[in-house]
Amino acid sequence: PVETKDLMKKKDTEDRCLAVLTSGGDSQGMNAAVRAVVRIALFKGMKPYLVNEGYKGLVEGGELIKECQWTDVTHTMHKGGTIIGTARCKEFRERSGRLDAAANLVKARINNLVIIGGDGSLTGANIFKEEWKGLLEELVRKERITQEEAALLPYLNIVGLVGSIDNDMCGTDMTIGTDSALHRIIEAMDCLVSTASSHQRTFVLEIMGRNCGYLTIMAGIAVGAEWVLIPENPPKEGWEESMCDKLKSSREKGRRLNFILVAEGAIDQENKKITTSDVKKVIDSKLGFDTRVTVLGHVQRGGRPSAYDRILGTRMGAAAVQTLFEAKGEMDAFMIAIRGNEMTKLPLMSCVETTKKIGSALNERDFNRMQELRGSSFARNIKILKKLEACPTTTCKPESSPSSPSYTFAVMNVGAPAGGTNSCTRSFVRFLLYSGHTVLGIYSGFDGLKEGEIKNLDWSEVSEWGSVGGSKLGTTRTVPDDKSLDAIAKSLESHGIQGLLVVGGFEAFQSLIKLEEGRRKYPALCIPIVQVAATISNNVPGTEYSLGCDTALNVIVSACDILKQSATASRKRVFVVETMGGYCGYLATMGALAGGADSAYIFEESFNLDHLRKDVAHMVHKFKAGNFEKGIIMRNESCNNNYTTDFMTQMLAEEGKDYFIARSSVLGHLQQGDAPSPFDRILGTKYAYQSMNHLLECMERSTTSEGKVLATGSDTICVMGLVGVEYKPTPVSVLKDKCDMKYRIPNDQWWIQLRPLVRILARHADKKFHG
Ligand code: ATP
């Protein structure tokens, strides 16, 4: 791991130079990475250089390689693409080009390089590193550099970051740009949903991804798709008939719109390309449906980077500099990867080589191997998508058998609305119907359960729920008390509910604790119960991510972009932005990191007037020094009762009156967002899948010989969480000791470690102001 806590280590005298370049296809989030590389390097005392136009800049040198300052990367994080340009450079593929590149680096005294690009760019960088000594010897021989110059830079250290919308590199869970591309795809699909369903249309959509179907699968999970075609899982012979049968039966069941998603690199079993027009021709000739083709193309690379990509780029950029900074001499080439929530450094060439094996497996038509190399979650995602879309009929329940028991499940929402809640509910319903079970929807939380507001949910009813924000089932904040347990138990019993999914926030967690206490008195409560955390606050213990917080972060980031633009237009403004979150500082901290704020005040990190004074002085200093037109101070709504948003704004207004105007912006309920982000929709589905498996497993082992479910173990009442890279159920009885029940925050919060990054990245290079 590359530990963020070690970021604070720096040297006062450091003369190492470091250059950063972007190469290959551009992707959103590259600018966040470049910004982080530059600023962390300055913080560490290293001299950063920007190489413009990718390897072309290295080969040509001159003005294309430029030492840069703090302000050169100001106001860049919100931009898509790459501010330093990218190119494909033929010359760098030749040794002669790399010789020129080495000469240019030696002249600038640079032997630390951060390359942001795809596998091609990283391979090129590795070749360059390996040839370095030979290149320098040749340069000395040719008298292009002196022996002394060569001796100063005996090796080249490189770190690669993967910028690619395809998410096609092995070793890292995500690459920079993938999440933003998914945002573009899902926005487009949501738009097509309304027009397609008005006209009863079938849309055949081409999605980018040469050798990789990741974007296609995820878009299918997030919005829904009758059929997907990806390179890693070519359809069986006769797929045309099967696809048309599926479309026909879905139309007969009243579905007005259909999506067929085709990855750019889709092929059949014989490695023959399948294009969108091939698919359209099949549907035209066999069904005569109104079918339209949409090729999203470069739209997917465009637009503003998502909150996730800004944070990923920032963290990866910081980890790259840290890796180079910590090198004691020559080091192996590394690639920075994200695994779960952790930054790691991996041997660069082993990641590239594994990735290349996927290409070879494709040529050999070894599709199982391709999926295996993409990691275990890839095959699971394909399976999930198939289950989501395999509509069962009354006579066909694909995964049920006469011998397997059929259970009655229920699902409800508790707490404030959060993006992804409906996606979770939809997927839960469909997965269970697919396996032959019954699912009841409980409307209006525990109030509705008491009152019997309960209804059977069927396949088509939940069809379009995934793309909708809020809560289709309706949600309340009511937590059961001793009095209501009786009515709740009776209602569960009378509806024959044998397993329950509660999608909700901290109130849902408190409810589960209460239900567990009630089990002693009411046997009807002895059924397996799972909570999926859904709250924009991200404060439920047992998981690193709750549904809704990614959607909220994207709202916060958009707000920051707008406020910064307003400040730039009207000149010199500082905004105090208040975020939600209760006492949990997740949104304020991550919003600050992604929105480029100067600081983030949170409840978990107490502060006093001295801190405020220092920060105000910093802001004044920043504006005085010139070049700054805006500042953002993020403040969690409950960070301090007395130092309120108004107080902070007035303090800034008074102390900074000669330099800027201070304003406040309380984002409030806007943070619940409109349409859920792709991440929340996908996470909702994955949580539903894991919750279903856990519930079923608990039910099977707790079924008595009379066929009654009697679940009493603590593991039968859990929060289903994402912990590291694992989906894991944790009993509420364990979790209640791992959080502060008064302030409703978990004791250990993974994101706290990122807080130094906010401060470092916002501080002007002036050392006096680094604390
Ligand atoms: P994308 O995934 O977006 O295509 P990429 O980094 O794989 O990104 P490439 O076109 O393969 O894109 O590579 C970008 C540049 O990296 C090339 O134009 C070239 O300058 C350099 N490069 C790629 N492969 C090599 C190589 N084998 N040797 C030297 N340089 C290379």
Other C-beta atoms within 10 Å of 638: how many? 18
Ligand 1: centre distance to CA 85 (Å) = 14
Name the residue at shortest CA distance from atom 3 of ligand 1: 25
| Residue pLDDT, tens place only, 16-46 | 999 999 999 999 999 999 999 999 999 999 9
Name the residue at shortest CA distance from atom 20 of ligand 1: 89
| Residue pLDDT, tens place only, 280-337 | 999 999 999 989 999 999 999 999 999 999 999 999 999 999 999 999 899 999 999 9
Quick one: pLDDT at residue 250?
A: 83
Ligand 1: centre distance to CA 98 (Å) = 13
Quick one: pLDDT at residue 768?
A: 46
Q: Which atom of ligand 1 is nearest to the CA of 98?
A: 29
| Residue pLDDT, tens place only, 374-392 | 988 899 999 999 888 776 6
Are the C-beta atoms of residues 536 and 714 closer than 8 Å to each other?
no
Read off the pLDDT of each residue in 61-78 and give the average, rounded to a whole number: 94
Are the C-beta atoms of residues 585 and 538 closer than 8 Å to each other?
no
Using the predicted structure, report yes or no on whether residue 765 has a pLDDT greater than 90: no
Quick one: pLDDT at residue 397?
A: 54
Using the predicted structure, report yes or no on whether residue 616 has a pLDDT greater than 70: yes
Ligand 1: centre distance to CA 88 (Å) = 6
Band (pLDDT 50/70/90 cuts) for residue 470 is very high
Ligand 1: centre distance to CA 172 (Å) = 19
Are the C-beta atoms of residues 694 and 729 closer than 8 Å to each other?
yes
Are the C-beta atoms of residues 648 and 633 closer than 8 Å to each other?
yes
Enumerate residues 6+ apart whose C-beta is below 8 A from 245.
Answer: none
Q: Which atom of ligand 1 is nearest to the CA of 91?
A: 20
Name the residue at shortest CA distance from atom 17 of ligand 1: 88
Quick one: pLDDT at residue 463?
A: 86
| Residue pLDDT, tens place only, 238-268 | 999 999 999 998 888 777 888 999 999 999 9
Quick one: pLDDT at residue 588?
A: 98
Ligand 1: centre distance to CA 337 (Å) = 19
Ligand 1: centre distance to CA 119 (Å) = 7
Q: Which atom of ligand 1 is nearest to the CA of 56?
A: 20
Taking CA atoms, 629 is separated from 191, 570, 574, 626, 737, in Å, by 36, 9, 8, 8, 46
Are the C-beta atoms of residues 203 and 196 closer than 8 Å to each other?
yes
pTM, whole model, 2 decimals? 0.95
- Bridging pattern class, strands 745-746 and 739-740: antiparallel
d(C-alpha 194, C-alpha 413), whole Å: 26
**pLDDT-above-90 percentage for the chain:** 84
Q: Which of 21, 23, 132 has most ligand 1 atoms within 8 Å of CB, for mutation?
A: 23
Give me the interface pTM, i.e. the ipTM: 0.91
**Residue 365: Cβ-neighbour burial (10 angstroms; 0-12, 13-18, 19+):** middle
Quick one: pLDDT at residue 39?
A: 95
Q: Which of 90, 93, 301, 335 has most ligand 1 atoms within 8 Å of CB, for mutation?
A: 93
Using the predicted structure, report yes or no on whether residue 394 has a pLDDT greater than 50: no
| Residue pLDDT, tens place only, 143-170 | 999 999 999 999 999 999 999 999 999 9
Are the C-beta atoms of residues 411 and 498 closer than 8 Å to each other?
no
Quick one: pLDDT at residue 766?
A: 47
Q: Which atom of ligand 1 is nearest to the CA of 27?
A: 3
Read off the pLDDT of each residue in 113-131 and give the average, rounded to a whole number: 97
Name the residue at shortest CA distance from atom 9 of ligand 1: 120
Quick one: pLDDT at residue 195?
A: 79
**Which residue in the list 26, 100, 119, 166 is annotated as catalytic?**
166
Closest CA to 585 of 753, 347, 418, 402: 753
User: What is the rounded average pLDDT for all residues in the chain?
Assistant: 93
Name the residue at shortest CA distance from atom 26 of ligand 1: 124
| Residue pLDDT, tens place only, 589-611 | 999 999 999 999 999 999 999 99
Band (pLDDT 50/70/90 cuts) for residue 216 is very high
Q: Which atom of ligand 1 is nearest to the CA of 168?
A: 2
| Residue pLDDT, tens place only, 709-746 | 999 999 999 999 999 999 999 999 999 999 999 999 99
| Residue pLDDT, tens place only, 182-203 | 999 999 999 998 777 777 889 9
Using the predicted structure, report yes or no on whether residue 428 has a pLDDT greater than 60: yes
Read off the pLDDT of each residue in 213-217 and give the average, rounded to a whole number: 96
φ and ψ at residue 314, rounded to 5 degrees: -65, -50
**Residue 707: Cβ-neighbour burial (10 angstroms; 0-12, 13-18, 19+):** exposed
Using the predicted structure, report yes or no on whether residue 450 has a pLDDT greater than 70: yes
By residue count, the chain amounts to 771
Other C-beta atoms within 10 Å of 232: how many? 29
Ligand 1: centre distance to CA 122 (Å) = 7
What is the DSSP annotation of 149-196? HHHH----EEEEEEB-TT---TT-S--BTHHHHHHHHHHHHHHHHHHH
Name the residue at shortest CA distance from atom 10 of ligand 1: 24
φ and ψ at residue 329, rounded to 5 degrees: -175, -140
Using the predicted structure, report yes or no on whether residue 367 has a pLDDT greater than 70: yes
Read off the pLDDT of each residue in 563-570 and give the average, rounded to a whole number: 81
Ligand 1: centre distance to CA 77 (Å) = 24
For residue 361, give both structure tokens. 């497996």
Residue ranges around ligand 1 (CB below 6 Å)? 23-25, 55, 88-89, 92-93, 117-121, 123-124, 127, 164
Name the residue at shortest CA distance from atom 28 of ligand 1: 124
Instruction: Identify whether 166 is a catalytic site residue.
Output: yes
In the sheet that 573-579 helps form, which strands lie side by side, from edge to edge? 599-601, 630-636, 573-579, 661-666
Band (pLDDT 50/70/90 cuts) for residue 400 is low
Band (pLDDT 50/70/90 cuts) for residue 371 is very high
Q: Which of 53, 119, 121 has most ligand 1 atoms within 8 Å of CB, for mutation?
A: 121
Q: Which of 27, 86, 88, 98 has most ligand 1 atoms within 8 Å of CB, for mutation?
A: 88
Read off the pLDDT of each residue in 518-527 and give the average, rounded to a whole number: 96
